[in-house]
């Protein structure tokens, strides 16, 4: 294991009807609130009314709304939120939505206290030193953003999508009521499942030694997901299955799995590049790319891929070479995602090789990306070509 420190300041408030604790939490931070949400799902499912009712129970509360945050949230929307904070002197941000809404709110929370362009923070040119406090109500199980400091923002004009992480962007509290995910449609539910599994893979395929506990934690998340996901898709309003997937998604990326290991994240960088150029759903992109990444790394390092298959798909370790076991793992993973209805090829999103160069370019943040097997530009091109 590598040396590490672990801090997670987010208070998790999990379970049925927990939106009732909203007022109590918010009053610890401020009364002039920026309410951030997406394209209207919270208006359709009644959550918007529930939240404003709870907030209006507080005395002298002032609410300003930023609605219409896009899936793959854009810098232009972050800038709108920053402007609203400054114009109205707001002191608290409440984000209600999935990863896009929460990530947008995180960028607003640090961008509002930074003199320069918020894109400087996203690209790492500037480091945040303070933030407007942020609380979240999660409506979709996928990213883990509700309990981490990450935010991923798209600069649509530049066709670039980047992530940053800061201790200042951890939510102060996150309310997770599985009932708020009942209305997530089937395709988005599948993308969330693929995303959470991919988060485990990014940390499971690390470049450090001796991390058996972290790996077993990751395998527990994966095995639970393999068991519960098909049942959830049969009945999208089943509380027990929604709650299991919701907690799985949170633990897949609250950085517990990252303790003491050098994680990979190359597939996410490639997916972000594809999304930046073609604006596709993040989980859909990962479902297409991850099997190809695994196949590529297994050509030189099949052992860990084989270990994954033995432990989560119960492959017989005595039956076949490492190479064969790795291949079988990848085909089991692909078959599982396909059985849920996930896409398998970039052409499923009408993506061809026309902008391949740009996607390769955008994926590369250095000479190589990833740690388990550092990928060169040429490797990334091979993976993308195989995924077309």
Residue matched to tokens 């499912």: 45
- Of the pair 25, 195, the CB lying nearest ligand NZQ is at 195
Which of ligand NZQ, Zn ion, none interacts with 140 (beta carbon under 5 to 8 A by kind)?
ligand NZQ
d(CA 87, CA 84): 5
177-236: contacts with Zn ion (CB under 5 A) = 195
236-255: contacts with ligand NZQ (CB under 6 A) = 253
Q: 193: which 2 tokens?
A: 């499942």
Give 3-state DSSP helix, strand, coil % of the chain, rounded to 5: 55, 10, 35
Answer yes or no: are the C-beta atoms of 298 and 330 closer than 8 Å.
Answer: yes
Answer yes or no: are the C-beta atoms of 182 and 45 closer than 8 Å.
Answer: yes
- Of the pair 201, 336, the CB lying nearest ligand NZQ is at 201
> Minimum distance between the CB of residue 303 and ligand NZQ, rounded to whole angstroms?
26
d(CA 258, CA 267): 16
95-114: contacts with ligand NZQ (CB under 6 A) = 97-101, 103
> Minimum distance between the CB of residue 375 and Zn ion, rounded to whole angstroms?
17
- CA dihedral (9, 15, 21, 26) in degrees, to 10, reads 40
Residue matched to tokens 């490639």: 270
* Strand boundaries in the chain, DSSP class E: 11-14, 32-37, 62-66, 92-97, 134-138, 150-155, 160-165, 173-176
d(CA 42, CA 26): 19
39 phi-psi bin (left φ>0, alpha ψ -120 to 50, beta other): alpha
What is the pattern of x (binds ligand NZQ, CB under 6 A) and - over residues 353-372?
--------------------
140-159: contacts with ligand NZQ (CB under 6 A) = 140, 142-145, 148, 150-152
Counting residues that bind Zn ion (by CB under 5 A) gives: 1
With CB atoms as reference, the residue minimizing the distance to ligand NZQ is 38
- Of the pair 103, 195, the CB lying nearest Zn ion is at 195
Instruction: Say whether residue 39 binds ligand NZQ (CB under 6 A).
Output: yes
Instruction: Say whether residue 54 binds Zn ion (CB under 5 A).
Output: no
Residues binding ligand NZQ (CB under 6 A): 38-41, 45, 71-72, 97-101, 103, 139-140, 142-145, 148, 150-152, 180-181, 183-184, 188, 191-192, 195, 253, 268, 282-283
Residues binding Zn ion (CB under 5 A): 195
């Amino acid at each position: 294991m590598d040396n590490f420190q672990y801090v997670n300041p987010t208070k998790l408030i999990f379970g049925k009807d927990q939106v009732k604790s909203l007022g109590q939490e918010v009053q610890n931070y401020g009364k002039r609130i920026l309410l951030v949400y997406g394209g209207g799902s919270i208006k359709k499912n009644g959550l918007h009314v529930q939240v404003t009712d709870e907030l209006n129970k507080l005395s002298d509360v002032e609410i300003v709304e930023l609605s219409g945050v896009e899936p793959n949230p854009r810098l232009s929307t972050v800038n709108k939120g920053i402007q609203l904070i400054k114009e109205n002197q707001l002191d608290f941000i409440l984000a209600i939505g999935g990863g896009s809404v929460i990530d947008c709110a995180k960028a607003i929370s640090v961008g509002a206290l930074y003199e320069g362009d918020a894109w400087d923070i996203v690209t790492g040119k500037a480091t945040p030193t303070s933030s407007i406090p942020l609380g979240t109500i999660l409506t979709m199980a996928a990213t883990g953003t509700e309990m981490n400091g990450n935010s991923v923002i798209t600069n649509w004009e530049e066709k670039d999508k980047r992530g940053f992480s800061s201790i200042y962007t951890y939510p102060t509290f996150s309310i997770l009521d599985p009932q708020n995910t009942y209305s997530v449609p089937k395709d988005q539910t599948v993308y969330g499942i693929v995303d959470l599994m991919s988060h485990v893979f990014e940390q499971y395929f690390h470049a450090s030694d001796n991390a058996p506990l972290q790996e077993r934690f990751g395998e527990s998340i994966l095995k639970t997901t393999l068991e519960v996901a098909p049942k959830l898709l049969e009945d999208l309003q089943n509380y027990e299955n929604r709650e299991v997937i919701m907690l799985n998604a949170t633990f897949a990326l609250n950085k517990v799995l990252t303790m003491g290991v050098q994680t990979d994240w190359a597939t996410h960088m490639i997916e972000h590049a594809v999304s930046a150029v073609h604006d596709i759903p993040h989980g859909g992109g990962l479902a297409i790319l991850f099997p190809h990444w695994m196949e590529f790394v297994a050509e030189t390092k099949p052992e860990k891929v084989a270990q994954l298959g033995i432990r989560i798909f119960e492959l017989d370790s005595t039956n076949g070479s490492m190479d064969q076991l790795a291949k079988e793992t990848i085909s089991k993973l692909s078959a599982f995602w396909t059985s849920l209805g996930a896409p398998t090829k970039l052409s499923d999103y009408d993506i061809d090789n026309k902008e391949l160069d740009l996607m390769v370019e955008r994926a590369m943040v250095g000479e190589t990306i990833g740690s388990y097997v550092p990928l060169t530009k040429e490797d990334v091109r091979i993976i993308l070509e195989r995924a077309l």
